[in-house]
Structure 1
Amino acid sequence: MGPDEVFCRKCGETKPRVAFYDQPHSTLPRRPCKACILTDKRARYAAGDGDRVSHAQVLREKYNLTSAQYEQMLADQKGRCAICGQLETARGRGGTPRRLAVDHDHRSGVVRQLLCHRCNLVTWAVGENPALLDEVRAYLDAHARRAG
């Protein structure tokens, strides 16, 4: 093991120094390695333990939905966004596709449907002002005419 290599006690592998985070207020490597930390975080998230809350917990606390209700909504929509009809294309930190977002009325809390990340951002940006969409369309049309 060379000076640029560090042993991970968790996975038992010797890896390059860049595979480890620094300890707080130090340049010493934090153990376990980044990959083992990520694996542990994913396991805690899936189990609903630890610092991160599980998807089921977010559904329950934020939207008053069970995992089964979410899965039923997803099945009813055939896994596609209720607005654009596409599968989710946005990727999470691990590179896997994100889940469809639960769209809800921010004033009443009533759940509407599941949206892809892009459509969810648009509905959030427009808020409860649908007339803003007409303004956005006019803006894009005006600039498309100039470009064409």
Structure 2
Amino acid sequence: MAAARRGLCEICPNAPPEHVDHCRKTGRVRGVLCFNCNSAIGKLGDDPGAVRRAAAYLEGNSWKPTLVAPGVYQLPS
């Protein structure tokens, strides 16, 4: 797996993969990650929604209202 990624983490291309990542519910191997990326997704509870919210927060989008109809905005919850 690591060779297929040219010896780099599957999330960040900055570090060598040191950990085989797996789904904690099914035990299925997902890939190889560096320590930091493996820890980060684990601390977010392996929840894709939490990862998306974290990305939106970092991009500054989590606090912006969403246009749902002309002149109608939905505030983030």
Query: Could you state the TM-score of these two structures normalised by the residue count of structure 1?
Result: 0.36
Query: Quick check: 1:134 aligned with 2:52?
Result: yes
The one-character-per-residue Cα deviations of 1:31-50 (angstroms, maximum 9, x if unpaired) are: xxxxxxxxxxxxxxxxxxxx
Query: Quick check: 1:81 aligned with 2:9?
Result: yes
Bigger relative CO (Cα 8 Å, ≥ 6 apart): 2
C-alpha separation in 2, matches of 1:83 and 1:103: 11
Identity percentage over the alignment?
A: 35
Query: Structure 1 133/78 Cα, relative in aligned 2: closer, same or farther at 3 Å?
Result: same
Is contact 2:19–2:38 with CA below 8 Å preserved after alignment?
Answer: yes
Write 1 or 2 for the structure with the bigger share of strand.
Answer: 2
Q: Structure 1 regions of 5+ residues with no counterpart?
A: 1-72, 89-98, 143-148
Superposition deviation, residue 116 in structure 1: 0.7
Counterpart amino acid of residue 82 in structure 1: E
Query: Quick check: 1:116 aligned with 2:34?
Result: yes
Superposition deviation, residue 106 in structure 1: 0.6
C-alpha separation in 2, matches of 1:139 and 1:75: 33
Query: Could you state the TM-score of these two structures normalised by the residue count of structure 2?
Result: 0.63
Aligned to 1:76, the other structure's residue is in SS state: coil
C-alpha separation in 1, matches of 2:2 and 2:52: 29
C-alpha separation in 2, matches of 1:138 and 1:116: 22
Write 1 or 2 for the structure with the bigger share of helix.
Answer: 1
2:21 pairs with one of 92, 97, 103: 103
The one-character-per-residue Cα deviations of 1:72-107 (angstroms, maximum 9, x if unpaired) are: x2212211001112223xxxxxxxxxx611100011
C-alpha separation in 1, matches of 2:56 and 2:3: 35
Counterpart amino acid of residue 81 in structure 1: C
Q: Which stretch shows the higher mean deviation, 127-136 or 107-116?
A: 127-136
Q: Structure 2 regions of 5+ residues with no counterpart?
A: 62-77
Superposition deviation, residue 131 in structure 1: 1.1
